[in-house]
Amino acid sequence: MKLMNFAAAAVTGILLSTTAVMAQDKPVVGLVMKSLANEFFQNMMVGAEEHVKARGDYELIAVGMQNETDFEAQINAVDNFITRGVDAIVIAPADSRAMVRPVKRAIAAGIKVVNFDVALDADAKAQQGLELAFVGPDNRGGAKMAGDALAQALGEGAKVVIIEGNPGADNATERRLGFEDTVAEYKLDLLDSRTAHWETEEANQVFSTMLTAHPDIQGVMAANDSMAVGVVKALESAGRTDILVVGFDNIPAVGPMIADGRMLATVDQFGTRMAADSIDLALGIVAGGPDLEGWVKTEIQLVTAK
């Protein structure tokens, strides 16, 4: 199995990994991820590649997106997997509502589906009569972990802002709510909350605008580390070293930033394992095991320099 270069994958936004000839006696799993420009999903892809090599008893086709808002690519990928007749689809939806109908089509075609990382919208599932478990972390609880670390470092009444993820994604909503829980508990002053769609450069621009409007900002919650990196870049450009930043994902790029104090904390959701573990669950169902039910929680952990 040969993995395409990640830079090329980000350009095409479609096929990242497949086998030249599908073995007839092995189940085929279609993995649908979000943007491979995001280091979190690059690491997830590495974990999935290592997993298929280690198990050796299934075939993997992995698909990514050009950017974090390109959910049409995910819809096309699911429809393509239906046409190809894969045995299972493991999907991290970019838009929690838009992906419900394609997932329903896949299930109607007899394909086993595991929803991981980002939950499909509960109301949209109910409207479509779709019952599907979610495999993933407590995004609200994780965001509160990071938010609490920020609040404890700053103290009651501190002035803070949020850089949000995609408005259509359940994990973006949950992470915003988690930080708002911190704001309420620690009586922080929430000055502003805007989306940067999970993207580094957009976060740089959005936060630069925030900083101009609110030069007295003391702390920032970025809903993922890619956006946290953009915030740090904006702070460096502005010559500000007095503002604390927390993120979510624990991508390798933020390790040095936490070590040298440019970031206070992040939340590790163990992305390299998440897709692999979800594939294991999907293969268990394909082999005749019971369908998943409810919320299958995965691990999270606060990461600081201490």
Q: Is a pLDDT exceeding 60 seen at residue 16?
A: no
Question: Both 96 and 215 in a single domain?
Answer: no
Question: Both 95 and 156 in a single domain?
Answer: no
In this predicted model, which residue has the larger pLDDT, 9 or 42? 42
Torsion of the alpha carbons at 223, 227, 232 and 233, rounded to the nearest 10: -170
pLDDT of 19: 44
pLDDT of 68: 77
- Tell me the pLDDT tens digit for each residue of 154-211: 999 999 999 999 998 999 999 999 999 999 999 999 999 999 999 999 999 999 999 9
Bridge pairing between strands 244-246 and 189-195: unpaired
Question: Both 118 and 83 in a single domain?
Answer: yes
Question: Both 92 and 154 in a single domain?
Answer: no
pLDDT of 36: 85
Question: Both 253 and 109 in a single domain?
Answer: no
223-234 as b/e: b if 16+ CB within 10 A: bbbbbbbbbbbb
Sign of the dihedral through C-alpha 78, 82, 84, 85: positive
State the average pLDDT for the chain.
Answer: 91
Question: Both 7 and 130 in a single domain?
Answer: yes
Question: Both 65 and 7 in a single domain?
Answer: yes
In a domain, 33, yes or no: yes
Q: What is the mean pLDDT of residues 141-157?
A: 98
| Domains of the chain: total | 2
Question: Both 86 and 157 in a single domain?
Answer: no
pLDDT of 24: 60
Task: Find the domain containing 233 and state its range.
Answer: 139-268
**pTM (predicted TM-score):** 0.86
Question: Both 253 and 275 in a single domain?
Answer: no
Q: What is the mean pLDDT of residues 270-285?
A: 95
Question: Both 71 and 19 in a single domain?
Answer: yes
**CB-count exposure of residue 241 (10 Å: 0-12, 13-18, 19+):** exposed
Question: Both 278 and 169 in a single domain?
Answer: no
In a domain, 304, yes or no: no
Q: What is the CATH number of the domain that holds 263?
A: 3.40.50.2300
In a domain, 85, yes or no: yes
Number of neighbouring beta carbons within 10 Å of residue 50: 12
Question: Both 149 and 88 in a single domain?
Answer: no
pLDDT of 1: 29
In a domain, 306, yes or no: no
Q: In whole angstroms, what is the distance from residue 33 CA to residue 20 CA?
A: 21
In this predicted model, which residue has the larger pLDDT, 113 or 42? 113
The pLDDT-based confidence of 71 (bands split at 50, 70, 90) is confident
